[in-house]
Structure 1
Amino acid sequence: MTDPVTEDREQGQTFMPKFDAAGLLTAVAVDSADGSVLMLAHMDAEALAKTQETGFAHFHSRSRGRLWMKGESSGHVLQVQAILVDCDQDAIVLQCVPAGPACHTLAPSCFYRRLEGGKLIRI
């Protein structure tokens, strides 16, 4: 038998994000127009709240150890249209309208290479 908290988290309507030991959720940003994967990042409670409050994707930078808004210096923001939550609430998908390239390399997506025969091939 499933405990009531797990039942509510997996089947209910209560938003109960399940952060990992470091206090993070995995967040995948996709283009709301075509579903293509734009980037993968992590969110802490502050980033999640700021994203919901502003409608723009915010993340927790593990390398900088702080909150950052995607595009805060480049202007290539991600306007969030919807937030999808996975079954056990430890990962989310942000359906976004990108204002420019999502990747810091200026590629449209951070996933611009395919692994083929041990080598990375630009898509």
Structure 2
Amino acid sequence: MIDVHFVTFDCAQPYELATFWSEATGWVIHPDGGKEDDEILLQGALNMLFIRVPEGKTVKNRVHLDVTGSEGTTRDQEVERLLGLGATVHDDRRNPDGTGWVTMLDPEGNEFCVCRAGYEKA
């Protein structure tokens, strides 16, 4: 059995990307992290580590996050909120019956999906 220590994102601007995800999740950037650092730790329900790499993203992620709204927010409200934080819609898979998801891109192009929360399915 293993414990997952971090989910790590290779990126060009660690502090800026960690800030986006901090605003998206409400999690906090570790106090030792500074704007010019090559590694920034975001602490929350899952630790996310953002590491500066020289190469850019060129292909689809092989692993991605699926997220839902919390505290009674809907999938559609979360999509709008995340757009306001700097994400973009990559693929809208919402269906007229309310099912489906939206694949979004964070500011560095990493894919993540916004899904309906359990309370929306009732």
State the TM-score bracket (shorter-chain normalisation). Answer: under 0.3
- Output the TM-score relative to the length of structure 2: 0.26
TM-score by length of 1: 0.26
Between Structure 1 and Structure 2, the one with more strand by share is 1
